[in-house]
Amino acid sequence: MVRPAQQQLSGGAGRALPVKVLVHGVSGRMGGEVLAALCREPGLEPSCGVDAKVSGEYLSLPDGSGQIPISSDLEAIIARCRPQVMVDFTNAEASIRACRMAASRGVNLVVGTTGLTEANLQELDSLAREHRIGALVAPNFALGAVLLAHLVRGLGKYFEYAEIIEMHHDGKIDSASGTAISLARSLREGRDGPFTRPTPEKEPVQGARGGELEGVSIHSVRMPGRMAHHEVILGTQGQTLSLRHDTINRECYMPGVILAIKEVVKFKGLVVGLDKMLGL
| C-alpha–C-alpha distance, residues 110 and 247, integer Å | 21
Instruction: Enumerate the active-site residues.
Output: 168, 172
**How far are the Cα atoms of 48, 115, 256 from residue 121, in angstroms, in the given order?**
25, 11, 20
- Overall fold of domain 143-248: Dihydrodipicolinate Reductase; domain 2 (3.30.360)
pLDDT, averaged across the chain: 91
pLDDT value, residue 174: 87
- Where are the extended beta strands (E) located within the chain? 19-24, 44-50, 58-60, 67-71, 85-88, 108-111, 134-137, 161-168, 211-213, 216-222, 228-236, 239-247, 269-272
The CA-atom distances, in angstroms, between 176 and each of 211, 249, 276 are: 8, 20, 23
Which fold does the domain 5-137+251-278 belong to in CATH?
Rossmann fold (3.40.50)
How large is the greatest C-alpha to C-alpha distance in the chain, in angstroms?
A: 74
Q: Which residues pair with 19 in a beta bridge?
A: 44
Please calculate the CA angle 176-202-181 and round it to the nearest 5 degrees: 15
Task: Check residue 14 and give its pLDDT.
Answer: 53
pLDDT at res. 8: 37
Q: How far is residue 157's CA from residue 173's CA, in Å, rounded to a whole number?
A: 32
Residues in the chain where the model's pLDDT stays below 50: 1-13
Give the pLDDT of residue 7. Answer: 36
- Look at residue 54 in the predicted model and tell me its pLDDT: 84
Ramachandran sector of residue 215 (left: φ over 0; alpha: ψ -120 to 50; beta: rest):
left
Q: Could you state, in order of their start, the residue ranges of all structural domains in the chain? A: 5-137+251-278, 143-248
Q: What is the pLDDT at residue 15?
A: 60
pTM across the whole model: 0.82
pLDDT score of 17 = 86
Q: What pLDDT, on a 0 to 100 scale, did the predictor assign at position 143? A: 93
